[in-house]
Amino acid sequence: MQAEIIVVGSEMLTPYRQDTNSLHLTARLNDLGVTVAFKTIVGDSLQQLTGAARTALTRADIIIFSGGLGPTEDDLTREAAAAALGLPLLSDPTILESLERRFAARNIVMSPNNRKQADVIEGFTVLNNSNGSAPGQFIETTHNGQRRLVLLLPGPPSELKPLFDQVAKPLLAAALPPSFLARRTLRMALIPESLVDARTAPIYQRFADIETTILAGRGEIQLHFASTKPTLAEAQARVDEVVSLIEAEMQDDIFSSRGESLEEIVLLMLGMRHLTLAVAESCSGGLIAERLTEVPGSSRTFLGGAVVYTDALKTTFANVPADLIATHGAVSEPVVRALAEGIRTRTGASIGISVTGLAGPTPGTGADAGKPIGRVYVALADGQQTRAKELNLFGDRERIRWWASQQALELLRRTLL
Amino acid sequence: MQAEIIVVGSEMLTPYRQDTNSLHLTARLNDLGVTVAFKTIVGDSLQQLTGAARTALTRADIIIFSGGLGPTEDDLTREAAAAALGLPLLSDPTILESLERRFAARNIVMSPNNRKQADVIEGFTVLNNSNGSAPGQFIETTHNGQRRLVLLLPGPPSELKPLFDQVAKPLLAAALPPSFLARRTLRMALIPESLVDARTAPIYQRFADIETTILAGRGEIQLHFASTKPTLAEAQARVDEVVSLIEAEMQDDIFSSRGESLEEIVLLMLGMRHLTLAVAESCSGGLIAERLTEVPGSSRTFLGGAVVYTDALKTTFANVPADLIATHGAVSEPVVRALAEGIRTRTGASIGISVTGLAGPTPGTGADAGKPIGRVYVALADGQQTRAKELNLFGDRERIRWWASQQALELLRRTLL
Q: What is the DSSP string of A268-301?
A: HHHHHTT--EEEEESTTTTHHHHHHHTSTTGGGT
Look at residues B159, B175, B191 and tell me which one is the last residue of a structural domain.
B175
Residues of chain B contacting A294 with CB distance shorter than 8 Å: 285, 397-398, 401
Indicate the residue of A37, A45, A286 with minimum beta-carbon distance to B290.
A286
* Residue from B388, B51, B404 nearest A55 by CA: B51
User: Residues 4 to 63 of B: which have CB under 8 A from any A CB?
Assistant: 11-18, 20, 23-24, 26-27, 30, 35-43, 45, 48, 51-52, 55, 59
Look at residues B221, B256, B291 and tell me which one is the last residue of a structural domain.
B256
Q: Do B124 and B168 lie in a common domain?
A: yes
Helix (H, G, I), strand (E, B) or coil at B152: strand
Task: Tell me which of A5, A6, A14, A320 to substitute to probe the interface with B (most B C-beta atoms closer than 10 Å).
Answer: A14
> Under an 8 A CB cutoff, do B26 and A20 touch?
no
Task: Tell me which of A25, A35, A194, A293 to substitute to probe the interface with B (most B C-beta atoms closer than 10 Å).
Answer: A293
Helix (H, G, I), strand (E, B) or coil at B108: coil
At residue A118, the pLDDT reads 94
> Under an 8 A CB cutoff, do A347 and B313 touch?
yes
Nearest CA-CA distance, residue B313 and chain A, Å:
7
pLDDT for B71 beyond 90: no
The mean pLDDT value for B133-159 works out to 95
> Under an 8 A CB cutoff, do A14 and B37 touch?
no
Q: Do B136 and B223 lie in a common domain?
A: no
User: Domain containing B198 — which CATH number?
Assistant: 3.30.70.2860
pLDDT for B274 beyond 90: yes
Q: Specify the amino acid at residue A412.
A: L
The mean pLDDT value for B78-102 works out to 95
At residue A179, the pLDDT reads 86
Q: Do A404 and A277 lie in a common domain?
A: yes
Residues of chain B contacting A292 with CB distance shorter than 8 Å: 285
At residue B132, the pLDDT reads 85
Domain of A87 in residue numbering reads as 2-175
pLDDT for B325 beyond 90: yes
Interface membership of B392 toward A (CB under 8 Å) = no
Least confident of A61-75, B102-116, B132-146: B102-116
Q: How does A378-393 read in b/e, with b if 16+ C-beta sit within 10 Å?
A: bbbbbeeebbbeebeb
At residue B102, the pLDDT reads 85
Q: Do B330 and B355 lie in a common domain?
A: yes
- The model's confidence at residue B388, banded by pLDDT at 50, 70 and 90, is very high
Question: How confident is the prediction for chain A on average, in pLDDT?
Answer: 95
> For residue B361, is the peptide bond before it cis, meaning its omega torsion is within 30 degrees of 0?
yes
Q: What is the DSSP string of A341-390?
A: HHHHHHHT-SEEEEEEE--SSSPP-GGGTTPPTTEEEEEEE-SS-EEEEE
Interface membership of A293 toward B (CB under 8 Å) = yes
Q: Number of structural domains, chain A?
A: 3
At residue A107, the pLDDT reads 84
At residue A102, the pLDDT reads 85
The mean pLDDT value for B88-102 works out to 93
pLDDT above 70 covers what percent of chain B? Answer: 100
User: How do residues B164-179 score in pLDDT, each as one tens digit?
Assistant: 999 999 999 999 998 8
Residues of chain A contacting B14 with CB distance shorter than 8 Å: 26, 30, 213, 224
Q: Do A271 and A406 lie in a common domain?
A: yes
Residues of chain B contacting A299 with CB distance shorter than 8 Å: 309-310, 362
**Residue of chain A whose alpha carbon sits nearest to that of B308:** A304
User: How do residues A32-72 score in pLDDT, each as one tens digit?
Assistant: 989 999 999 999 999 999 999 999 999 999 999 999 998 88
> Under an 8 A CB cutoff, do A362 and B299 touch?
yes
At residue A33, the pLDDT reads 87
Look at residues B202, B231, B256 and tell me which one is the last residue of a structural domain.
B256
Give the whole-angstrom CA distance, residue B128 versus residue B70.
15
User: Residues 87 to 116 of B: which have CB under 8 A from any A CB?
Assistant: none
Q: Do B168 and B184 lie in a common domain?
A: no
Give the whole-angstrom CA distance, residue B281 versus residue B336.
9
Residues of chain A contacting B37 with CB distance shorter than 8 Å: 13, 42-43, 45, 48
Residues of chain A contacting B20 with CB distance shorter than 8 Å: 18
Query: Which are the contacts of B405, defined by CB distance < 8 A and separation ≥ 6?
Result: B284, B287, B288, B291, B355
DSSP bridge pairs for B226: B183, B211
Q: Do A235 and A290 lie in a common domain?
A: no
**Residue of chain A whose alpha carbon sits nearest to that of B41:** A39
DSSP bridge pairs for B185: B224
User: Domain containing B270 — which CATH number?
Assistant: 3.90.950.20
Indicate the residue of B15, B59, B306 with minimum beta-carbon distance to A317.
B306
B375-to-A374, B355, B369 alpha-carbon distances in Å = 39, 11, 12
Quick count: other Cβ atoms within 10 Å of Cβ A122?
A: 12
Q: Do A363 and A398 lie in a common domain?
A: yes
**Residue of chain B whose alpha carbon sits nearest to that of A226:** B14
Helix (H, G, I), strand (E, B) or coil at B379: strand
Q: Do B171 and B184 lie in a common domain?
A: no
Query: Which are the contacts of B104, defined by CB distance < 8 A and separation ≥ 6?
Result: none
Indicate the residue of A39, A287, A309 with minimum beta-carbon distance to B303.
A309
Helix (H, G, I), strand (E, B) or coil at B281: strand
Q: Do A152 and A51 lie in a common domain?
A: yes
- Please, are residues A141 and A148 in contact by the beta-carbon 8 Å criterion? yes
At residue B156, the pLDDT reads 92
Give the whole-angstrom CA distance, residue B136 versus residue B130.
11
Looking at residue A190, the DSSP 8-state letter turns out to be S
Strands lying side by side in the sheet with A180-189: A210-217, A220-229, A180-189, A254-256
pLDDT above 90 covers what percent of chain B? Answer: 85
Interface membership of B72 toward A (CB under 8 Å) = no
> For residue A361, is the peptide bond before it cis, meaning its omega torsion is within 30 degrees of 0?
yes
Q: Do B224 and B327 lie in a common domain?
A: no
- Please, are residues B127 and B163 in contact by the beta-carbon 8 Å criterion? yes
User: How do residues A235-272 score in pLDDT, each as one tens digit?
Assistant: 999 999 999 999 999 999 999 998 899 999 999 999 99
Quick count: other Cβ atoms within 10 Å of Cβ B375?
A: 22
> Under an 8 A CB cutoff, do A303 and B312 touch?
yes
Query: Which are the contacts of A90, defined by CB distance < 8 A and separation ≥ 6?
Result: A119, A120, A121, A122
> Under an 8 A CB cutoff, do A288 and B286 touch?
yes
Indicate the residue of B12, B299, B307 with minimum beta-carbon distance to A289.
B307
SS (H, E, C) A29-93: HHHCCCEEEEEEEECCCHHHHHHHHHHHHHHCCEEEEECCCCCCCCCCHHHHHHHHHCCCEEECH
pLDDT for B90 beyond 90: yes
User: Domain containing A54 — which CATH number?
Assistant: 3.40.980.10
Give the whole-angstrom CA distance, residue A213 versus residue A218.
17
Task: Tell me which of A26, A41, A353, A362 to substitute to probe the interface with B (most B C-beta atoms closer than 10 Å).
Answer: A41
Nearest CA-CA distance, residue B228 and chain A, Å:
15
- Complex confidence, ipTM: 0.88
pLDDT above 70 covers what percent of chain A? Answer: 100
- Please, are residues B175 and B149 in contact by the beta-carbon 8 Å criterion? yes
User: How do residues B199-255 score in pLDDT, each as one tens digit?
Assistant: 999 999 999 999 998 888 899 999 999 998 988 999 999 999 999 999 999 999 999
At residue A326, the pLDDT reads 96
Nearest CA-CA distance, residue B93 and chain A, Å:
30
Residues of chain A contacting B225 with CB distance shorter than 8 Å: none
Nearest CA-CA distance, residue B55 and chain A, Å:
8
Task: Tell me which of B293, B302, B343, B400 to substitute to probe the interface with A (most A C-beta atoms closer than 10 Å).
Answer: B293
Q: Do A271 and A246 lie in a common domain?
A: no
Least confident of A110-119, A323-332, B40-49: A110-119
User: How do residues A370-410 score in pLDDT, each as one tens digit?
Assistant: 999 999 999 999 999 999 999 999 989 999 999 999 999 99
What length does chain B have?
417
At residue A223, the pLDDT reads 94
